[in-house]
C-alpha cells in the first residue's frame, strides 16, 4: 500500500511542452506512471509523443479523468497553475517550480482552505510510491517497494536515504518531498497522519533542516498521536543565524528554527535523531528490529 498516489493515479503535466516538462514527462512515463494528458495554453489538440495536450486543466480532466497534476510552469505563472488545477477538481497537485513569490503562495494557501486537494510543494522533487507511480523528478531506479515512509525538505538527502535503505533491502511505501519554500502545501504533520494510518507503512523517516517550526510541530504530533517509530535527521547544524542556507525556508531568525533546538525537541518527544546522514539507513533497520 502507499499514500496519496498509486498505480491507479492518472496524471496531467501542466507545462508538458516546455523543456523541463517534456524531459520529466518522458521519465515518468518510462517509470510506469499513467500520464494521461498535458496542458499548455494555445497548444490544445496537439499531442506530445502520443499524449494529448489541452488548453486548460478543466478540459483535460473532462477528457481524461485525470486526478493528479505535475506543474512545470515558470515562477510568475505557477501559482495560477495551482489554482487552476484545484478549481478543476484535481485531487493531488505536485508543484515542482522553484522561486514562486511568497505572496503568490499566500494567496494559494488562503484559496485552498477547506478544499480537499492535496498540494505537494512548491520547490519539491515530487512524490513517488515505488513500483506504482512517480510524479516529479525523483530517480525512480534507486527506489524499492516496501514499508518505510519518507518525508523530506531536501531532495538530495532523500536520494541518499533511499539509496541506503534500498541497498540494505529495505523498501519504501511512499517518499514525499514537501518542498523547501516558506509557504508550502502539505507538511510533516499532515503526512505523518497519513503514514500512521497506512497499514503497510512500518516506520517513517523525517529529513528536516533549519528554518521554521515544522519539525517541532511534527515532534508534538508524534508524541501525542503516533505509535509507529520515526527516525529523523536535521541538516544545517553549523549554519550561521540570519543566513539562508539552500532553500528559501532554510533560515534561522529571531531565535527560531535552529538545528540544535529542533534536535532537542524531536528527541524529547521520543523520536530517534541521527546526527550523521550516513547512519540513517542502519538506524532505521535497528529501530524496526527493536519494535518487532
Instruction: With cut-offs at 50, 70 and 90, classify the pLDDT of residue 11.
Output: very high
Q: For the chain, first and last CA: distance in Å? A: 20
Q: Which of 24, 143, 186, 247 is catalytic?
A: 247
Overall average pLDDT of the 92-101 stretch: 97
Architecture of domain 1-123: 3-Layer(aba) Sandwich (3.40)
Averaged pLDDT score across all residues of the chain: 92
Q: How far is it, in rounded angstroms, from Cα 289 to Cα 282?
A: 11
- Residue span(s) of the chain under CATH 3.40.50.720 come to 1-123
Task: Collect all residues with Cβ–Cβ distance below 8 Å to 178 and sequence separation of at least 6.
Answer: 120, 121, 124, 151, 152, 153, 184, 185, 186, 187, 188, 191
Which pTM value belongs to this model?
A: 0.93
Cell of 237: 547544524
Told to judge if 247 belongs to the known catalytic residues of this protein, a careful annotator would answer yes
Q: What is the mean pLDDT of residues 99-120?
A: 96
3 state SS of 292:
coil
Q: What residues does CATH 3.40.50.261 cover in the chain?
A: 139-292
Q: Does domain 139-292 have CATH number 3.40.50.261?
A: yes
Q: Can you tell me the distance from the alpha carbon of 259 to that of 102, in angstroms, rounded to the nearest whole number?
A: 23
pLDDT given at position 118? 98
Q: Which three cell numbers stand for residue 248?
A: 528559501
269 has a pLDDT exceeding 60: yes
State the residue for C-alpha cell 532554510.
Answer: 250
Report whether the peptide linkage leading into residue 122 is cis, meaning its omega lies within 30 degrees of zero: yes
Question: Is the separation of the CB atoms in 10 and 65 below 8 Å?
Answer: yes
Amino acid at each position: 500500500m502507499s499514500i496519496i498516489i498509486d498505480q491507479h493515479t492518472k496524471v496531467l503535466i501542466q507545462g508538458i511542452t516546455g523543456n523541463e516538462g517534456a524531459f520529466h514527462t518522458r521519465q515518468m512515463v518510462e517509470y510506469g506512471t499513467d500520464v494521461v494528458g498535458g496542458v499548455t495554453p494555445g497548444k490544445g489538440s496537439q499531442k506530445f509523443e502520443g499524449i494529448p495536450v489541452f488548453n486548460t486543466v478543466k478540459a483535460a480532466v473532462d477528457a481524461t479523468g485525470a486526478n493528479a497534476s505535475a506543474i512545470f510552469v515558470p515562477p510568475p505563472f505557477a501559482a495560477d497553475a495551482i489554482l487552476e488545477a484545484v478549481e478543476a477538481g484535481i485531487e493531488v497537485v505536485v508543484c515542482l517550480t522553484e522561486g514562486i513569490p511568497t505572496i503568490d503562495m499566500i494567496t494559494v494557501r488562503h484559496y485552498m482552505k477547506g478544499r480537499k486537494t492535496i498540494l505537494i510543494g512548491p520547490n519539491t522533487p515530487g512524490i513517488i510510491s515505488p513500483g506504482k507511480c512517480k510524479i516529479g523528478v525523483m530517480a525512480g531506479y534507486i527506489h524499492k517497494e516496501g514499508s518505510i515512509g519518507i518525508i523530506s525538505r531536501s531532495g538530495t538527502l532523500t536520494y541518499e536515504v533511499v539509496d541506503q535503505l534500498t541497498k540494505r533491502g529495505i523498501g519504501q511505501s511512499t517518499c514525499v518531498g514537501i518542498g523547501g519554500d516558506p509557504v508550502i502545501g502539505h507538511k510533516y504533520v499532515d503526512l505523518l497522519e497519513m503514514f500512521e494510518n497506512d497499514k503497510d507503512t512500518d516506520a517513517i523517516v523525517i529529513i528536516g533542516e533549519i528554518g521554521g517550526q515544522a519539525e517541532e510541530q511534527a515532534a508534538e504530533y508524534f508524541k501525542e498521536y503516533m505509535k509507529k517509530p520515526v527516525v529523523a535527521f536535521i541538516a544545517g547544524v553549523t549554519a550561521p543565524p540570519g543566513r539562508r542556507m539552500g532553500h528559501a525556508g532554510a533560515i534561522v531568525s529571531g531565535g527560531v528554527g535552529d538545528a540544535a533546538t529542533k534536535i532537542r525537541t524531536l528527541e524529547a518527544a521520543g523520536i530517534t535523531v541521527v546526527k550523521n546522514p550516513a547512519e540513517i539507513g542502519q538506524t532505521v533497520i535497528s529501530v524496526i528490529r527493536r519494535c518487532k
